[in-house]
Chain A
Amino acid sequence: MDNNLIEKYKAEMLNMRKRAIPTPATAENVSDGELIVMVTAIRNLYPIENAKITVFKGSMENRVKITEALTNESGRTERIILPAPDKIFSETKGSNTIPYALYNLLVEADGYIDNIHLNIPIFSGVTSIQRVNLLQSESAGENPPPQIFDEFKAYEL
C-alpha cells in the first residue's frame, strides 16, 4: 500500500461509511449463491460425520433459522442454496447496495465444542466453502463455551 495515502484513505473510508447507508437487497434484485461446510478434527486430518450445521441470521440468542444440514462421511455438507443480491451490485464500482448477503453458522457435533461462524458472505452465483476445525470437548476443561469466529470485514472496494 502507498504509505503517502494511508491517512487520506482512512479519512475517506470513514466519510464514505457515514455518508452512504447501503441498502440491503430487495426481493427484485436477489438471486442465489451456495455454501459448502467441511468439518474436520485435528486440522483437516480427520473428517467429522453427522456434524449438524445450522444456518441462521441474527444473534445467537435471537436467531432466525434459515436451514440445516448434516455432514457426510467425508465431513462435507451438500451445496446449501442461499439467497444473495444480484451479481450486478458487485460488478459496478461504488454501488450503493451491499453486493453480498451475510449468514451465520452454528456447528455442533457429539464430543466436540460448538463452533459459531458469524458474517459469512454469500455472493450470487458463487460457492463459499467454510472449513470448520472442531476441538474435542474433553480436552478443553469443564463446560467449554463455543468457539466464535466473526468474519465481518469492511468489504468497501
Chain B
Amino acid sequence: MPNVILPVIPENITVHLGPPGSNAENVTVPFSDYIKNVASSEIYPTWPENALRANIYAIISFALNRIYTEWYPSRGYNFDITNSTAYDQAFVKDREIFENIGYIVDDIFNDYVVRQGFVQPLFTQFCNGTTSTCNGLSQWGTVALANEGLTPYSILQRYYGNDIGIVENAPVGFTSESYPGTPLKIGDSGNNVKIIQTQLDRISKNYPAIPKIENLNGIFGVDTENSVRKFQEIFSVPISGQVDKATWYEIKRYYTGVKRLSELVAEGITLEEASLPFDTVVSEGMFGTEVRTVQYYLSILAYFNSNLEPVPLNGVFDSQTVDAVKRFQAFYGLPATGIVDNATWNMISKIYIDTVSSLPEGYEGTNAKLYPGFFLTKGMRNDSVSDLQKYLVLISENINAIPKTSVTGYFGDLTENAVRVFQELYGLPISGAVGPVTWYSIAREYDALNNQ
C-alpha cells in the first residue's frame, strides 16, 4: 500500500491576479484570509447561515483541491490558484471582509468536503445559478434550500451527491500545536493554558490594550479570561472569553507572524559579510552569495511592505527572483528590468536602512533589533553602537571569555576588542567590525539569553 499524503491546511496560498496565462502579479496571503476574501467576493453576507456555510465549505474544498493536486505548479506556473472566475474563484486583493462571514470561516477553515473513501479534497465547482449553471453548487440555489430548512451538509449533498463526507479539524500547516478539540475556559489548567498565556503575553507587548496576565502559571483564571476577551475584540473573533477553535488559531497565526521576522533574520546569518552595493551586476541565471544576499534583503523588505513579494533564499536567481526584483523596481520608480544593477543595489540598500531606522519604537519587543544596514566600525558614535554594546554586555555576563564593555554609544578599543573575541569564539572572520553576519550572530546569542 503506497504512503498516502493527507491534506494539510497550508499557512499561505499564492493567488495569481488574472487568468493562468496572463502576465499578472501574484500575491501570497494567509489561507483563512484568502477564504474570507473569496467568500466575501462570491456571496452575499445577508444570506441565511446554512447557505453561507455550504458555500464556504465549497470554497475551502475547491482551494484545497487546487493545492493538494498541485494543479498549477504541475503545469509550470508559480502560483496555487488564480482569481479568474472562469477558472477558479473570485478574490479581490486588500478588500474588506464581512464580520459574520469571517466568524464562519474561522470556525470551519480546516474542514473540507471529500468523496467518501477518498482522501483528496473534492473539486467542488460552483456557479451563481442565474446567468450560469453547472455541474455543482448553485449559489442562489443554496439560499432557497437553506430557507427550506436544509443543513449545510444536506445542501452540499444535493449538489455533489449523497456519498460525500466532511473532514473536520484537518491539521494546519502554520503551527504544530493543534486545537485540543474543546475550548479552554476559566477553571481549566495545564500545558495548553500555559502556552496560550505565554503567547498572549507576547502579543500584548504590541497590543497594550490586552491586559497583562499576572501569573503565567497554566491556570485559567479571571485575568486570563479578560485577556482572551480583549484579544477576541481586537482581532474580530466572537467574544466568549474562552479559547475556542477560532481564538486558538487566531492566536497561533498572530504569534507565528511575530516569530516570522526572527526566523527570516536567522536565515540571513550564514551570509558572508556583505555590504551593499556590490560591484557586480546580478541577474537571471546566476547563483551564489550575491544572489542570496539580494533574496535576503528583498524578503526582509517584503516583510515590512506587503506590496513586495518575498522570495526563497535559495541562492539561485530564478524566475521568482526576477519577479520579486521587478516588483521592487516598479514600486520604487526604477525601470523594471529584473536585473540588479548598481542603481537597484543602491535603492535596496537605501530602503533597507530607511525602513530599519524608521521602525516604530519597541517594534522588536524583547529581541535584538535588525541589522542597521551599515558596517559598525571603530570611531563611530550612534544609536546602533549603543544597541550593539547592550547586547555584548548581556553576552559577556554569561560568557566569561567575552570582555566587559559598557553602553556609551562610542565604538572604541574596548568594543572592538570584545567584537574580535566574539568573532574568534564563533568562528567568524576576525575583523573587529560588525557587518550583517556578526550582527546577527550577536543578536541570536542575545535573544537566546534574554528570552530564557
- Asked if B363 is at the interface (CB within 8 A of a chain A CB), the reply is yes
Smallest CB–CB gap between B385 and chain A, Å? 21
Using a Cβ cutoff of 8 Å, how many contacts connect chains A and B? 152
Interface residues on B, range: 35 or more
- Asked if B199 is at the interface (CB within 8 A of a chain A CB), the reply is no
Smallest CB–CB gap between B436 and chain A, Å? 18
Given A99-B44, A117-B94: A139 and B305 interface contact (C-beta under 8 Å):
yes
Q: Enumerate B120-137 residues with CB–CB distance to A below 8 Å.
A: 125, 127-136
Query: Could you tell me the distance between the alpha carbons of A47 and B128 in the complex, rounded to whole angstroms?
Result: 38
- Asked if B85 is at the interface (CB within 8 A of a chain A CB), the reply is yes
Q: How many residues of A contact B (CB 8 A)?
A: 58
Given A90-B46, A139-B355, A141-B332: A45 and B206 interface contact (C-beta under 8 Å):
yes
Q: Interface-forming stretch among B98-106, B273-281, B410-418, B427-435?
A: B98-106
Query: Could you tell me the distance between the alpha carbons of A75 and B206 in the complex, rounded to whole angstroms?
Result: 11
Which residue of A1, A72, A124, A126 contacts B132 across the interface (Cβ within 8 Å)?
A: A1
Query: Could you tell me the distance between the alpha carbons of A44 and B46 in the complex, rounded to whole angstroms?
Result: 28
A42 touches B47 (CB 8 A): no
Query: Could you tell me the distance between the alpha carbons of A151 and B83 in the complex, rounded to whole angstroms?
Result: 14
Given A41-B360, A129-B99, A151-B96: A73 and B131 interface contact (C-beta under 8 Å):
no
Smallest CB–CB gap between B133 and chain A, Å? 7
9 contacts between A and B (CB under 8 A): A3-B86, A5-B133, A42-B303, A47-B207, A75-B234, A93-B129, A93-B140, A99-B44, A157-B44
> Can you add 17 more A-B contacts, CB < 8 Å, to A128-B98, A139-B305?
A1-B87, A2-B127, A35-B96, A42-B363, A47-B234, A73-B208, A87-B46, A91-B44, A91-B46, A127-B98, A129-B96, A131-B96, A138-B358, A141-B332, A151-B94, A153-B41, A156-B130
Q: Which residues of B pack against A, CB within 8 Å?
A: 41, 43-47, 85-88, 90, 92-100, 102, 125, 127-136, 139-140, 143, 206-209, 234, 236, 254, 257-258, 303-307, 332-333, 351, 354-355, 357-360, 363
